[in-house]
Amino acid sequence: MSQEIGHDRRQEALAAAERCVDMLKQDFRVQRVIPFGSLMGDGPWHEESDLDLALEAMVPAWLEVDLVPLERVYPEMRARILGGGPMAESPRLALKARLEDDFYKGCERICERVAVTLDEGLPQGDRWPQALLGQMGAPGGQGRPAVFGGPLLLELDDYRRFCHRVRHLYGYELEGERVLGLARGVRGMAERVREAVGVLGEWLERSAGT
């Protein structure tokens, strides 16, 4: 992405943030909306950056609020949200519907930040998520170590491929046991990812002064 296009997209994102703030305050009685993240300079802005908004809403502190852009969800979920697609009665099909990609998207954002900050940018092309994950499995720019080791990298790729199927191959029949296996493994996988990111953080601290 050229510097000029990047600037134009950032200005467009800032305008979108202002519209979101106005709508949330006027239509949803949100007390305060605070844009943050790469859009506000908290990290590097790039073509895969998203819009981060912190809300001070009129809900209990323990109650998490998810704002879901309808134009970005896959068709089956959109139909359920709009009332046109009831949840399947089969527990396994219902689990398939509910097993969204929050886990992998969190890992993907970590990889994006590392790639932009240390590796001089994100991979290009239609298969950039796959290339990005592979990039994190090898040493990168500025002497950084590999973020994810061999076995962990392969397991993360399983989740990446699952997310791709759910998002893009809508007619694909997922195997029930495979879906259950991925669901059961999320907690342990998250802990291993946290440990891997902690190791990278230690390296960043050690190398910060060099």
Looking at residue 184, what is its pLDDT? 85
pLDDT at 15 over 70: yes
Mean pLDDT for 66-73 is 68
Separation CA 46–CA 210 (nearest Å): 26
**pLDDT for 153-199, tens place per residue?**
999 998 888 776 665 554 445 666 777 888 888 888 888 988 888 88
pLDDT at 44 over 60: yes
**pTM (predicted TM-score):** 0.55
Looking at residue 85, what is its pLDDT? 55
What own/partner pairs with CB < 8 Å and gap ≥ 24 does 155-162 have?
155/185, 155/189, 156/104, 156/107, 156/189, 156/193, 157/130, 157/133, 158/182, 159/101, 159/103, 159/104, 159/107, 159/189, 160/104, 160/108, 160/129, 160/130, 160/133, 162/99, 162/101, 162/104
Per domain, the residue ranges of the chain are 1-67, 99-210
Confidence of residue 207 (pLDDT cuts 50, 70, 90): confident
- Contact in structure between 9 and 47 (CB atoms under 8 Å): yes
